[in-house]
Amino acid sequence: MITYKLKPKNSAEVSIYLLDEDQTLKFQHENCTQVNEVISSKQFTGTLYDIFPIVNKGTLILLVGLGKREELTLTIVRIAAKKALESKYLKGKKDIALYPHSQKEECILAIIEGIKIGTYRWKKYLTESSANSIDAMSIQMITPQKKSFEIAEDICAGVNATRDLVNDNADFVTSTHFEKEIRAIAKGQKNISLEILNEKELNAKGLNLHLAVNQGSNKQPKLIIAKYTGNPKDKKLLAIVGKGITFDSGGLNLKPTSHIETMREDMAGAGAVLGVLKNLIKLKIKKNVVCVLGIAENAIGSGSYKPGDVIKSYSGKTVEICNTDAEGRLVLADAISYVIKNYKPEKLVDIATLTGACVVALGYDYTALISTSEQMAKDILSSADKTDDRAWRLPIYPELKSAIKSKIADIKNIGLPKGAAGTLTAAEFLRQFTGETLWAHLDIAGTSFVESSERMYFNYGATGSSVRLLTHFIQNYA
Ligand code: BES
Ligand code: ZN
Ligand code: ZN
């Protein structure tokens, strides 16, 4: 638990001081001469991520370096807070007082995220865990009490809820599980209405692309729609639509070894939508948002949809299936046209682990943003910047239409030879279902999951990509 105090209430077991190099030079500890000696003898100079422990009358003081002041970023602050709290010196400690390097609100928020998001670990299936758990710690943040800090914690809880879903087994986080979770979130909330389309309804209404993707699976396909009305007087409505492939085997175009292992992450878009919905409720955000989760499993079997199939979408456009592994755009296309037709949102953002090409283009730290609306692109980039939930814009332009032309159907589900500009051609496919609605697309294929041991302030596994970004975007621009 984090509490906010002007002065530490009881003498904490551990006091953590975040200090950049300039601050270190001037730092004087009132009741610990050892700290002052360590600094004057240059044993601790505030070097980036240096952690220096000092025992002081039975309590522990940790000096944590933030490096050169002119190079200090809020990302560094998050990483430093994470490293401090995960350090071996805190093992078994419960009462922590944390002294921020700055009382600026953005710095306190970054420290909270470093703690809440940075120390998150997926431990459900570990029978023994050696890592420290911040759940068992009481952290006193030495700062004037402010409401906005509690809000930051709530937002982190939304991020971590998404991570729990993405990290868990694909056969656990099924469409049924998603439905159960969404129903639990909506329970007792008068301003949320649910519409859930199962196989029967999807069939009756003609969401055939969605159905095709799920055809080889023994699980139900579901289109889950939760409409949150935070401001009944406001006519404006935003739709957020998440790709929820609970496992992407590739289908008959089966994925090879080293591409398939983490494909339970292919519902990270839908997972993010669920995290955002939690935040809307927790923060009582006064905006209207229709949250859409397109859930299916891209499995393999004799019933699977097949390369060469032509399928009529909900919108009426026919689609040639050239590769069953390009399934996300199919589920999204039907979800997008369904929500536009039946809910008439002013703006729509879709979010998806859509293309491997996105990882090639931007790597793991930046989500790809593609939008036909200058204003939405500008707003989303600003939210990305403010939340450190990073995004970078890629282009979309009329000439891309030819990349998805088919000889036997209106369009096809793959783009140019050799996968050239795969992220752009996938976005162009989606654009064809957005009509006049203001639209932005987030490709989180690179950012949703950490496969190396850690990245920035994320431990191995799901990151909750775009939950902070979208929450901020809705609060400020929707
Ligand atoms: N789910 C994948 C994209 C992906 C790749 C997500 C890596 C996360 C990490 C998507 O369904 C896919 O397989 N896309 C294909 C499209 C191709 C067949 C046109 C791809 O990117 O290779
Ligand atoms: Zn795929
Ligand atoms: Zn996929």
Measured CA angle at 417 (ends 416, 419), to 5 deg = 70
Instruction: Copy the structure tokens of residue 197.
Output: 């389309």
Number of neighbours of residue 275 by Cβ within 10 angstroms: 30
Q: Place 328 in a pLDDT band, splitting at 50, 70 and 90.
A: very high
Predicted local confidence at residue 133, as pLDDT: 81
Ligand 2 ion: residues within 5 Å (CB):
248, 325, 327
Give the relative orientation of helices 147-167 and 105-116 as an angle to the nearest 10 degrees: 30
The tens digit of pLDDT for each residue in 291-304 reads 999 999 999 999 99
* 118: amino acid identity, one letter: G
Distance 47 CA to ligand 1 centre (A): 41
Does ligand 1 have an atom closer than 6 angstroms to the CB of 356?
Answer: yes
The response to whether residue 230 sits with its C-beta less than 6 Å from ligand 1 reads no
Q: How far is the CA of 216 from the centre of ligand 2 (A)?
A: 14
Q: What would the pLDDT profile of 64-116 be if each residue is shown by its tens digit?
A: 999 999 999 999 999 999 999 999 999 999 999 999 999 999 999 999 999 99
Mean pLDDT, residues 170-177: 98
Q: What is the pLDDT of residues 232-264, one digit of tens each?
A: 999 999 999 999 999 999 999 999 999 999 999
Q: Whose CA is nearest to atom 3 of ligand 1?
A: 355
**pLDDT confidence of 134, banded at 50, 70, 90?**
confident
390 catalytic, yes or no? Answer: no
Q: How far is the CA of 329 from the centre of ligand 1 (A)?
A: 10
Ligand 1 atom 13: residue of nearest CA: 325
Nearest one of 405, 409, 429 to 417, comparing CA atoms: 405
Residue 250, CA distances (Å) to 43, 213, 266, 299, 432 in order: 55, 10, 11, 7, 23
What pLDDT, on a 0 to 100 scale, did the predictor assign at position 147? 79
How many angstroms separate the CA atoms of 76 and 81, rounded?
9
How many angstroms separate the CA atoms of 358 and 366, rounded? 9
**Mean of pLDDT over the chain:** 97
The mean pLDDT value for 18-44 works out to 95
Give the Å distance between the CA of 327 and the centre of ligand 3: 6
**Relative to the alpha carbon of 353, which ligand is closest?**
1
Phi and psi dihedrals of 93, rounded to 5?
Answer: -85, 145
| pLDDT at 148 (0 to 100) | 84
Q: Got the DSSP string for 299-333?
A: --STTS--TT-EEE-TTS-EEE-S-TT--HHHHHH
202: Cβ–Cβ under 8 A, 6 or more apart, which residues? 210, 211, 221, 223
Q: What is the mean pLDDT of residues 426-449?
A: 98
* Residue 320 pLDDT > 90: yes
pLDDT tens-digit readout, 356-403? 999 999 999 999 999 999 999 999 999 999 999 999 999 999 999 999
Q: Is the pLDDT assigned to residue 32 strictly greater than 80?
A: yes
**pLDDT of the residue at 31:** 84
The response to whether residue 443 sits with its C-beta less than 6 Å from ligand 1 reads: no
Report the DSSP beta bridge partners of residue 98: 16, 141
Q: Could you read off the pLDDT of 264-275 as tens digits, one per residue?
A: 999 999 999 999
To the query of whether residue 183 is one of the catalytic residues in this protein, the response is no
Q: Kindly state if the Cβ of 414 falls inside 6 Å of ligand 1.
A: yes
